[in-house]
Amino acid sequence: MTLEIAVFLSMHGKASEAIHFYKKHLNAKELMLVTYSDMAKRDRSLVLTEENKDYISHSVLQIGKTKLMVAEDTMDPNETYNVGNNFSLCLQSANLTEIQTFYNNLTSDDRVQIITPLSKNIFSEAYGIVQDPFGVQIQMMYDERLH
């Protein structure tokens, strides 16, 4: 099984500062870092400004055996950033069927809200976001790099 769960933090413009903090104080190792400028090369719909060009679109840090993902935005672009909605869980697996099964299991419960339906996008063959009945947002992503 390649399944792992990572904590995802949305930092509302302070992702770089948070990454530096975790690297300095928690000995976090930077495994991946993608800026808005990097992402705009893959997604032409992303509007770059002087203010946001160095913002963090996605990053992965490792602290001990735990992965921490840090970015600027909350999972639901329609909601206003508040402390409390700035974290989610990210279920990742190199097994596409496993991700599809988790998505189907979660969405079979009528109390689960679909934020982003599971589908292919520019960084994954399968990516989706749901909110469970307890307000926890859960990202699901197929990631072949986890083999």
pLDDT tens-digit series, residues 40-89: 998 888 889 999 999 999 999 999 888 999 998 877 777 777 766 778 88
Which of 56, 53, 51 has the alpha carbon at shortest distance from 9?
56
- The domain spans of the chain are 4-142
Tell me the pLDDT band of 115, cut-offs 50, 70 and 90: very high
**How buried is residue 83: exposed, middle or buried, by Cβ count under 10 Å (0-12/13-18/19+)?**
exposed
At the topology level of CATH, where does 4-142 sit?
2,3-Dihydroxybiphenyl 1,2-Dioxygenase; domain 1 (3.10.180)
Q: What is the pTM of this model?
A: 0.74
Task: Return the number of other C-beta atoms located less than 10 Å from residue 107's C-beta.
Answer: 15
Burial of residue 112 (CB within 10 Å: 0-12, 13-18, 19+) is middle
pLDDT in tens, 6-39: 999 988 888 999 999 899 988 899 999 999 999 9
Where are the alpha helices (H) located in 1-147, listed in sequence order?
15-26, 36-40, 96-107
